[in-house]
Structure 1
Amino acid sequence: MSDSLKISRRKLSDEVFDRLYQQLLNGDYAPGDSLPSERELMDTFGVGRPAIREAMQALERLGLVSIHHGQRPKVLTPSADGMLAQIELTAMHLLSTEPASLEHLKEARLFFEVGMVARAARQVGAKDLARLEALVERQRVALNKDIDAFIAADMGFHVAIAETTGNPIFIAVSRAMFEWLARFHTSLIHWKGSEHVTLEEHERILAALKNGDEGAAIREMTRHLERARSVYAPS
């Protein structure tokens, strides 16, 4: 029989992982609970210490438990940020090896951010506006002085718009898109030399949000991102 058709035996650590993962899904352990000790798990599953440790490390990489030396693993509260962090390496690899994926991500960002600003115009509150004003002011202060601070405020402005929704998945997606673009190439989120244009565009978006003008907010965000898309140039 061909080797490719043979069914290989699973690692013991994979079996342990599956059982612990199922227990977490079943609610046997709630966020904040401590899992049994290594010795207890070894006795329960009838496996050695390496299998337990490998399984725990896999759970930790998924953001399901935290591990500290000398303490029992603790179950974490699942989060949207943790969910997206799990696919970060895959996203980086995809962006680096598939040119079309970068175009898809830019298109997705435009679609996503236009939707976010439209919703923000309908429900933005006084605290949200104060935060957006502060971020625009930080950009104004950093203009032609501190490019890193300017870019940080630039990214913060867009994420803050997503935060007006109060939806943790929207917020996590917004952060993830910027992280992926920034780590792939900074020019994908910031056009060097156009800081004054970016600032003016953000001011117009903010003005539309202050007025609760959804149509204007959509137009200004679309112009802003379309202008930025036209100068995206990966190295």
Structure 2
Amino acid sequence: MLQVEKISGKKVSDIVVEQIEEWIRSGSVQPGEKLPSVREMCELFDVGRSAVRDALTTLKGRGLVNVKHGEGTFVCHFDTAQLLPDILLVQKSDISKLYQVRKILEAGIAEMAALNATEKQLNIMEKELDELVNAKTLKGWEADYRFHLAIAEASGNEILVDLMDTVSTTTKKGIMACHRIILSDEKLSRDVAEQHIAIYESMKAKDPIKARKAMYNHLTYVEELLDNHLNESGD
């Protein structure tokens, strides 16, 4: 079901634009899918028809939707990266610091989780792993984050979980930025998927040494991926 917030205040059409972009960004509506009608969106957002029409005009100008007269408004096929607000993207200056912390913290967490994970916790990891490996939209980053969080919880140490939570905002930025890059590259997607599978398999085998190594290698790979991407983009 599409999630909306009632709208009030100035620049109503801009807020409608933001909410429709969030539908697209989150995968609630897919490329080629028809959006609700103008009348339906007026009811969903509790706004007038002019606000919805202005919002659709803006989205059309950005190449995100295509208005077909007599048929409706459809989501275009496009690079989902263009929907990411700057605040969600990890900055170049943050990468080294973030991944220093993540490698120190999560490699140790993986080692402990391999020793302590219960069958139920392994099932949770497997569920998140399946979702992130098969993700076809940017929303896969959420399963990726939950996979890493599930490993922390499986460590059996609440302080480690709290430490993960302390850096969660920056970690989420890094994971989302990673998925932004790999979404349109089959080889990179496969590499990252295989790394997560290796982490999970080491947990299932209760092999702490392999778990530490698999996690460290994965985080090093992502750090280099982000760094190279930002160097190429001139950030």
Corresponding position of 2:53:
none
Deviation at 1:165, TM superposition (A): 2.4
1:138 to 118, 131, 149: 131
Mark the runs of 5 or more structure 2 residues left unpaired by the alignment.
Answer: 1-86
Answer yes or no: is 1:217 the counterpart of 2:211. Answer: yes
Q: Give the superposition deviation at 1:190.
A: 6.1
Partner of 2:67: none
Note the C-alpha offset of 1:138: 1.1
**Which residues in structure 2 correspond to 1:115-126 (within 5 Å)?**
115-126=108-119
Whole-angstrom distance in 1 between the partners of 2:143 and 2:101: 22
How much has 1:228 moved relative to structure 2?
Answer: 0.8
User: Per the alignment, do residues 227 and 166 of structure 1 end up closer, same or farther by CA in structure 2, a change over 3 Å counting?
Assistant: same
Secondary structure of the equivalent of 2:155?
A: coil
Measured on the aligned residues, the alpha-carbon RMSD in Å equals: 2.6
1:213: Cα distance to partner? 0.9
SS at match of 2:150: helix
Which residue number in structure 1 is paired with residue 158 of structure 2?
168
Q: Per-residue CA shift, 1:158-217, capped at 9, x if unaligned?
A: 111001123333213223423124347842676423222211111111111111111111
TM-score (norm 2): 0.51
Distance 1:176 1:190, change over 3 A: farther
Paired positions, count? 137
Contact 2:195 2:214 (C-alpha < 8 Å) held by counterparts: yes
- Alpha-carbon distance, 1:120 to partner: 0.6
C-alpha displacement of 1:114: 0.3
Corresponding position of 2:50: none
Shift of 1:155: 0.8
What letter matches 1:158 in structure 2? H
- 1:104 maps to a residue whose letter is K
AA matched with 1:157: F
What's the secondary structure of 1:232's corresponding residue? helix
Q: State the distance in 2 between where 1:205 and 1:221 align.
A: 6
Q: Distance in 2 between matches of 1:216 and 1:184?
A: 24
Q: Matches of 1:183 and 1:222 in 2, distance apart?
A: 19
In the alignment, the residues of structure 1 paired with residue 175 and residue 212 of structure 2 have an alpha-carbon distance, to the nearest angstrom, of: 26
| Offset from partner CA, 1:81-111 (integer Å, 9 cap, x none) | xxxxxxxxxxx9xx97x93x64222201111
- Rg larger for: 1
Runs of 4+ in 1 over 6 A off after TM superposition: none
With over 3 angstroms needed to count, the CA separation of the structure-2 counterparts of 1:218 and 1:185, relative to structure 1, is: closer
**Corresponding residue for residue 153 of structure 1:** 143
| 1:121–1:212 Cα contact (<8 Å) kept | yes
TM-score (norm 1): 0.51
For structure 1, the residue ranges without an aligned partner over 5 or more in a row are 1-91
The 1-side partners of 2:225 and 2:133 are apart by: 22
Task: Work out whether 1:128 is the aligned partner of 2:121.
Answer: yes
Greater RCO, CA 8 A, separation 6+: 2
CA–CA separation in structure 1 for the residues paired with 2:221 and 2:105:
16
- Whether the 8 Å contact between 1:191 and 1:228 is mirrored in structure 2 is no
| Map 1:1-235 → 2, pairs under 5 A | 99=93, 102-142=95-135, 145-148=136-139, 150-183=140-173, 186-187=176-177, 191-192=181-182, 193=185, 194-233=188-227, 234=230, 235=235
